[in-house]
Amino acid sequence: MDVDPASPILLFDSGVGGLSVLAEVRKLLPDAPVIYAADLAGLPYGTKTEAEIAARVAGLLGRMSERYKPRLICIACNTASTIALGMVREVLHTPIVGTVPAIKPAAALTKTGTIGLLGTLATVRQSYVDELEAQFAQGKRLIRHGAPGLVRAAELKLRGGTPDPAIIAEAVAGLRDQPGGEAIDTVVLACTHFPLVEEELRAAMGDDVQFVHGAAGIARRIAYLTQGQEFRRAAPDKAVVTTAAAPDLLNLFSPYGITEIESL
Ligand code: DGL
């Protein structure tokens, strides 16, 4: 079936984290119409229960696919993907690209064999992460830490604020202070918010630590799945939020080519 050239790619996150994925999508697919959806009323996901997250994600994506008829949905959020991806795929007919912790590339990069993983509290406890570890990091040590403060730091930074160095230090200590933590040479940023504070994390961890995240790989997957499709931007790209669409919120999204905002 032919895809409507104006049909958007919908990127979904709890907040601004998915913008780290949108930045990569723009590089590969500059002409693709995009809707960026942020469940700001549900932010943060990382401190919620699995049931709460699954219900929100499934409900919101259902409503948004009816309303915006996207050609593809990207769940640009590790927390939502590791919990709800399978469930959402069962009920929606739209192709769905998820975001999962980049353990595989990290395992290929580490020299010391010790990998750190920073995610939300909900992500680090998922069996999905256990499975990735068993599949791709055999013989390596994976040290996980749930760092909800980094979500707040990234949200603040995109609003023009300066992340509190104590929050960055807490996240780094959460990895380094675990047994074997001093050997970490590669860190998986397993939350789409965290690449937005990569600079601060790098400064705190040192230049010999490499950071890995999935944004570029996700963008490549989206480009692959939409190969051969025509793109025509019939309307300006917009952000959809679950709070009131206060006009100053648009400042968050406009550097990423989003020029309108509406409330779901
Ligand atoms: N950006 C999200 C992720 O990738 C979650 C942030 C949150 O809402 O806690 O996990």
Instruction: Report the pLDDT value the prediction gives residue 247, as an integer from 0 to 100.
Output: 87
Exactly one of 117, 191, 218, 240 is catalytic; which is it? 191
Ligand 1 centre to CA of 228 (Å) is: 32
Q: Is 237 in the pocket of ligand 1 (CB under 6 A)?
A: no
Instruction: Report the pLDDT value the prediction gives residue 2, as an integer from 0 to 100.
Output: 85
Which has the closest alpha carbon to 147: 113, 182, 123?
Answer: 123
Ligand 1 centre to CA of 230 (Å) is: 31
**Catalytic (active site) residue 74:** no
Ligand 1 centre to CA of 192 (Å) is: 6
Instruction: Report the pLDDT value the prediction gives residue 1, as an integer from 0 to 100.
Output: 65
Give one DSSP letter per residue of the chain, joined into a string.
Answer: -PPPTTPPEEEEESSSTTHHHHHHHHHH-TT--EEEEE-TTT---TTS-HHHHHHHHHHHHHHHHHHH--SEEEE--HHHHHHHHHHHHHH--S-EE-----HHHHHHH-SSSEEEEEE-HHHHT-HHHHHHHHHH-TTSEEEEEE-HHHHHHHHHHHTT----HHHHHHHHHHHHTSTTGGG--EEEE-STTGGGGHHHHHHHH-TT-EEE-SHHHHHHHHHHHTTT------S--EEEESS---GGGHHHHGGGT--EEEE-
Ligand 1 centre to CA of 16 (Å) is: 9
Instruction: Report the pLDDT value the prediction gives residue 73, as an integer from 0 to 100.
Output: 98
Burial profile 5-28: b = 16 or more Cβ within 10 angstroms, e = fewer:
eebbbbbbbbbbbbbbbbbbbbee
| Bond prior to 255 in cis (omega within 30° of 0) | no
Which three-class secondary structure string do you get for 245-260?
Answer: CCHHHHHHHHHHCCCE
**Catalytic (active site) residue 77:** yes
Taken in order of first residue, the domains within the chain and their CATH numbers are: 9-99+216-263 (3.40.50.1860), 103-213 (3.40.50.1860)
Pocket test for ligand 1, best of 19, 50, 75, 77 (most atoms within 8 A of CB): 77
Pocket test for ligand 1, best of 52, 83, 192, 252 (most atoms within 8 A of CB): 192
pLDDT one digit per residue (tens) for the chain, 264 residues: 689 999 999 999 999 999 999 999 999 999 999 999 999 999 999 999 999 999 999 999 999 999 999 999 999 999 999 999 999 999 999 999 999 999 999 999 999 999 999 999 999 999 999 999 999 999 999 999 999 999 999 999 999 999 999 999 999 999 999 999 999 999 999 999 999 999 999 999 999 999 999 999 999 999 999 999 999 999 999 999 999 999 889 999 999 999 999 999
Q: Is 192 in the pocket of ligand 1 (CB under 6 A)?
A: yes
| Phi-psi category of residue 160: left, alpha or beta, with phi > 0 → left and psi -120 to 50 → alpha | left
